[in-house]
């Protein structure tokens, strides 16, 4: 049967608007022949491990507020029982809480587990959940070293369970625009890329106050943060990395400070330190972290100048891809403003994008584009991001995951292969800095 465009869009409109209305009441639409039936929605049973800021907000409170017609939170787990209880109240959840993950999965029988712990424990919970029969949605980075990455691959293959990696940056309008332009081949075949990412003195500094400041927990910013950027590049180029060479240094934070203390709250240098940060002004953070300190000793407002900090704040990475594209990438964590600049050199032209992120992740950001064809014109235009978490991207991603919205024509949904390929660049870069030599991706993992 052929359906004309007008009829198709009328049906799509009816189906979408009725689904939205029915969703609120716990029904979904079923299409049988030419007739639409309403049927009750079977809610997906979800459990979550890691009830920190990300787990309790986007994957906790937001899920319960906006998606409770399609899912049910059946269990919450964290190693810190005080944070766990506060987070449960903050989310408005009514399910049981656990400090033992396996007990939670056995007793609450979730279909899907969401992993939002500290990075170095993602692999442990991803594999345990799949072994116990659950699908997994995990925050980035997928893991922090190559052994964990290999284990996730092998476990997924053996158990047949589904793994989603929540690469929200793929849903930002600027990232989508870049993908569309590259797909249109207006600049021909991409041969090389210049990619520079800037973290500012607020957001950048925050990594040095938290567990992220230690390689053993975060894998360094080359894994924790840059996994987003490498994933974008792998997706934009539809290419796989083969070799990495990197340099890294710590030039501002850690041992570079002239004064230091253990934490801001009790610091004798409050007045003179540019990086003084007053956690007591934020009631939510006080409840989530300071009031839970007695359980695990984790200090959320630790000094950015602690001598033990062992990650870099100044990083340069060269990547070679399987299709001969090369990328020069940099990440700097004490810039006066935040955003990125990317330039794609193609056989027929060049695409430049300059993206300015507002300090608050909930406010719009702006992107300036410059598309130039060899021997021809230059076209410039600007884009505004959406509003909401990560400039609107979080909402679009959650709709895709939990409501199957959109057709994923640009293949924005990411799985284990995407997760592994992006962290492998960061892990190879870390090894390259430590061993002062280029690192081939195949030295790390058999994909
Ligand atoms: N995609 C994004 O844009 C984005 C944004 C923020 C955070 N994240 C990711 O979310 C994750 C959580 O980050 P966060 O900012 O919420 O950190 P956080 O420190 O606020 O929360 C981490 C939680 O994990 C818990 N935890 C630590 N070890 C554990 C263990 N062994 N078992 C169970 N729980 C454990 C901690 O007690 C804490 O509650 C990280 O992996 C981070 O990369 C992603």
Which pLDDT belongs to residue 361?
A: 57
Task: Report the nearest-CA residue for atom 18 of ligand 1.
Answer: 52
From 47, 52, 292, the mutation candidate for ligand 1 (largest count of ligand atoms within 8 A of CB) is: 52
Instruction: Examine the pLDDT at 299 and tell me if it is beyond 60.
Output: yes
Which pLDDT belongs to residue 444?
A: 92
Mean pLDDT of 352-373: 82
Q: What is the pTM of this model?
A: 0.91
| Token pair of 189 as six digits | 């075949």
Instruction: Examine the pLDDT at 198 and tell me if it is beyond 50.
Output: yes
Task: Report the nearest-CA residue for atom 41 of ligand 1.
Answer: 119
Confidence band, pLDDT 50/70/90 cuts, at residue 324: very high
Q: At what angle do helices 146-159 and 122-131 cross, to 10 degrees?
A: 10
Instruction: Examine the pLDDT at 44 and tell me if it is beyond 60.
Output: yes
Under DSSP, is residue 352 helix (H, G, I), strand (E, B) or coil?
A: strand
Which pLDDT belongs to residue 446?
A: 78
Under DSSP, is residue 344 helix (H, G, I), strand (E, B) or coil?
A: strand
Residue 192 CA to ligand 1 centre (angstroms): 34
Q: Which of 170-184, 240-254, 348-362, 392-406 shows the lowest mean pLDDT across its residues?
A: 348-362
Mean pLDDT of 220-239: 98
Mean pLDDT of 215-221: 98
Instruction: Examine the pLDDT at 14 and tell me if it is beyond 60.
Output: no
Percent of the chain whose pLDDT exceeds 90? 84
169-253+309-393+416-443: CATH topology is Dihydrodipicolinate Reductase; domain 2 (3.30.360)
Which pLDDT belongs to residue 389?
A: 77
Q: Let me know: does 50 contact 62? Beta carbons within 8 Å.
A: no
Q: In 3D, which of 174, 179, 263, 269 has the Cα closest to residue 213?
A: 263
Which pLDDT belongs to residue 3?
A: 34
Which pLDDT belongs to residue 362?
A: 56
From 50, 139, 206, 396, the mutation candidate for ligand 1 (largest count of ligand atoms within 8 A of CB) is: 50
- Distinct helix (H) and strand (E) counts, the chain: 16, 17
Which pLDDT belongs to residue 145?
A: 97
Cβ of 54 closer than 6 Å to ligand 1, yes or no, is: yes
Task: Report the nearest-CA residue for atom 7 of ligand 1.
Answer: 54
Which pLDDT belongs to residue 33?
A: 56
Mean pLDDT of 80-87: 98
Which residues lie closer than 8 Å to 95 by C-beta, 6 or more apart?
73, 74, 75, 76, 88, 108
Confidence band, pLDDT 50/70/90 cuts, at residue 388: confident
The answer to whether domain 44-167 has CATH 3.20.20.80 is no
Confidence band, pLDDT 50/70/90 cuts, at residue 158: very high
Cβ of 52 closer than 6 Å to ligand 1, yes or no, is: yes
Instruction: Examine the pLDDT at 21 and tell me if it is beyond 80.
Output: no
Confidence band, pLDDT 50/70/90 cuts, at residue 359: low
Write the burial class of residue 411 (CB in 10 Å: 0-12 exposed, 13-18 middle, 19+ buried).
exposed
* pLDDT tens by residue, 398-429: 999 999 888 899 999 999 999 999 999 999 99
* pLDDT tens by residue, 55-82: 999 999 999 999 999 999 999 999 999 9
Mean pLDDT of 203-215: 98
- Dist. CA 152–CA 270, nearest whole Å: 44
Mean pLDDT of 103-131: 98
Which pLDDT belongs to residue 25?
A: 46
Task: Report the nearest-CA residue for atom 26 of ligand 1.
Answer: 117
| Token pair of 365 as six digits | 């950001």
Instruction: Examine the pLDDT at 13 and tell me if it is beyond 50.
Output: no
Mean pLDDT of 118-124: 98
Q: How far apart are the first and last CA of the chain?
A: 42
Residue 377 CA to ligand 1 centre (angstroms): 47
Q: Let me know: does 194 contact 295? Beta carbons within 8 Å.
A: no
Q: Domain locations in the chain? A: 5-40, 44-167, 169-253+309-393+416-443, 255-296
Cβ of 389 closer than 6 Å to ligand 1, yes or no, is: no
Mean pLDDT of 388-398: 85
Per-chain mean pLDDT for the chain: 91
Residue 20 CA to ligand 1 centre (angstroms): 32
Q: Let me know: does 296 contact 163? Beta carbons within 8 Å.
A: no
Q: Work out the angle at residue 211's Cα, subtended by the Cα atoms of residues 137 and 108, and round it to the nearest 5 degrees.
A: 35
Which pLDDT belongs to residue 4?
A: 41
Residue 396 CA to ligand 1 centre (angstroms): 21
Which pLDDT belongs to residue 399?
A: 95
Which pLDDT belongs to residue 390?
A: 79
Instruction: Examine the pLDDT at 364 and tell me if it is beyond 70.
Output: no
| Token pair of 57 as six digits | 């907000």
Q: What is the DSSP string of 308-330?
A: T--S-SEEEEEEEETTS-EEEEE
* pLDDT tens by residue, 160-194: 999 999 999 999 999 999 999 999 999 999 999 99
Q: In 3D, which of 16, 101, 112 has the Cα closest to residue 50?
A: 101
Instruction: Examine the pLDDT at 121 and tell me if it is beyond 50.
Output: yes
From 118, 125, 144, the mutation candidate for ligand 1 (largest count of ligand atoms within 8 A of CB) is: 118
Q: Give the range with max mean pLDDT: 17-31, 292-306, 349-363, 390-404.
A: 292-306
Which pLDDT belongs to residue 391?
A: 76
Task: Report the nearest-CA residue for atom 5 of ligand 1.
Answer: 54
Instruction: Examine the pLDDT at 16 and tell me if it is beyond 90.
Output: no
Instruction: Examine the pLDDT at 363 and tell me if it is beyond 80.
Output: no
Residue 211 CA to ligand 1 centre (angstroms): 10
């Amino acid at each position: 049967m052929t359906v004309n465009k007008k009829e198709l869009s009328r049906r799509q409109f009816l189906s979408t608007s009725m689904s939205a209305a029915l969703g609120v009441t716990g029904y979904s639409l079923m299409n049988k022949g030419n007739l639409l039936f309403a049927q009750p929605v079977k809610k997906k049973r979800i459990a979550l491990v890691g009830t920190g800021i990300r787990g309790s907000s986007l994957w906790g409170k937001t899920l319960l507020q906006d998606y409770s017609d399609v899912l049910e939170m059946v269990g919450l787990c964290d190693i810190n029982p005080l944070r766990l209880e506060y987070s449960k109240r903050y989310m408005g959840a009514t399910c049981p809480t656990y400090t033992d993950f396996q007990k939670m999965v056995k007793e609450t029988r979730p279909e899907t587990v969401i992993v939002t712990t500290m990075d170095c424990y993602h692999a442990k919970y991803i594999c345990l959940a799949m072994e116990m029969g659950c699908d997994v949605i995990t925050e980035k980075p997928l893991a922090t070293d190559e052994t964990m990455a290999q284990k996730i691959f092998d476990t997924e293959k053996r158990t047949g369970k589904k793994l989603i990696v929540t690469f929200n940056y793929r849903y930002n309008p600027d990232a989508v625009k870049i993908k569309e332009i590259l797909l249109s081949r207006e600049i021909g075949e991409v041969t090389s890329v210049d990619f520079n990412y800037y973290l500012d003195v607020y957001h950048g500094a925050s990594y040095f106050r938290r567990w992220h400041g230690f390689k053993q927990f975060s894998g360094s910013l080359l894994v924790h943060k840059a996994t987003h950027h490498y994933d974008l590049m792998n997706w934009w180029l539809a290419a796989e990395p083969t070799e990495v060479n990197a340099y890294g240094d710590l030039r501002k934070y850690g041992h570079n400070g002239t004064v230091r203390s253990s934490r801001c709250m009790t610091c004798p240098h409050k007045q003179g330190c540019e990086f003084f940060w007053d956690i007591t002004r934020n009631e939510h953070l006080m409840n989530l972290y300071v009031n839970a300190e007695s359980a695990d000793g984790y200090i959320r407002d630790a000094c950015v100048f602690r001598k033990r900090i062992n990650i870099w704040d100044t990083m340069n990475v060269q990547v070679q891809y399987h299709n001969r594209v090369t990328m020069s990438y940099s990440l700097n964590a004490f810039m006066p403003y935040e955003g990125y600049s990317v330039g794609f050199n193609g056989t027929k032209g060049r695409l430049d994008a300059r993206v300015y992120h507002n300090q608050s992740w909930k406010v719009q950001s702006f992107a300036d584009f410059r598309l130039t064809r060899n021997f021809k014109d230059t076209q410039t235009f600007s884009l505004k991001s959406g509003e909401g978490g990560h400039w609107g991207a979080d909402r679009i991603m959650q709709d895709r995951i939990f409501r199957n919205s959109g057709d994923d024509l640009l293949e924005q949904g990411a799985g284990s292969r995407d997760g592994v390929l992006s962290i492998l660049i960061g892990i190879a870069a870390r090894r390259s800095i430590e061993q002062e030599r280029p690192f081939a991706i195949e030295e790390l993992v058999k994909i």
